Amino acid sequence: MDDYLTTNLLEYDEALEGAARVSVEAGLPDIAVSAPQGRFLTLLVRMVRARSVLEIGTLGGYSAICLARGLPHDGSLITLEAEPRFADVARGNIDRAGVGDRVDIRVGPALDTLPILGDDAPFDLVFLDADKANNAAYFRWALEFARPGTVLVVDNVVRGGTIADPASDDPGVRGTQHMFELMAADPRVDATALQTVAGKGYDGFALALVTG
């Protein structure tokens, strides 16, 4: 079905196909968002008329290209990546996609680069998609950098249903469960989560609006 939608609903996209191909050839893990999910990110950036976006977890730049494409020409995306080699691959892919002027890749563990982002805040939209063990900490930073109206998207919050296991000792599962606890308890955030099926399996994303 993902292939059907990609072929029949989305027009052929050389920049994204190329980014996916180059990333796999460079040995990066094949865990970027799917093409329909990527289009969802582009549309969301456009729908909220975001001018500044923060992403945590760049990988080869696939979702970064999708986010940056939704921005106006003078908009900006800051994307955080721990692995210098992945960031190099992403730089090439993002530049070839023609959105390089809008994208700033900051290399290093996000918990080190987030505290020095203050001057770039607030962000209109934040996409959390890095190491899931730190999802609660990333959620706190996203709120720190938000204003009323900021949209948060958190990827991979279902993971085949494993997130629903209260006895899990997987750090990624526990990190996402902790993120949900914070999200549910925070009076400044209205949130939901949607489950997805796609070429890469059963997963989902959380969507939140900062209200205060």
Place of tokens 């998609």: 129
Binding mask 81-100 for ligand SAH (x = CB under 6 A): xxx--x--------------
Among 6, 13, 16, 32, the residue binding ligand SAH under the rule CB under 6 A is 32
Q: Rounded to whole angstroms, how far apart are CA atoms 77 and 123?
A: 9
Q: What's the one-letter identity of residue 60? A: G
Q: Are strands 189-198 and 201-210 parallel, antiparallel or unpaired?
A: antiparallel
Helix (H) or strand (E) holding 189: strand 189-198
Per partner kind, with CB cut-offs from 5 to 8 A, the member of Mg ion, ligand SAH, ligand DHB, none near residue 131 is: ligand SAH
- Closest contact distance (angstroms) between CB of 110 and ligand DHB is 13
Site for Mg ion contains 155 (CB under 5 A): yes
Who contacts 116 (Cβ-Cβ below 8 Å, separation ≥6)? none
User: Rounded to whole angstroms, what are the CA distances from 67 to 79, 112, 143?
Assistant: 10, 23, 19
Helix (H) or strand (E) holding 81: strand 76-81
Binders of ligand DHB in range 34-93 (CB under 6 A): 57
Binding mask 123-152 for Mg ion (x = CB under 5 A): ------x-----------------------
Site for ligand SAH contains 57 (CB under 6 A): yes
Q: Which is nearer to ligand DHB, 52 or 156 (CB)?
A: 156
Residues that bind ligand DHB (CB under 6 A): 31, 57, 129, 155-156, 200
Residues that bind Mg ion (CB under 5 A): 129, 155-156
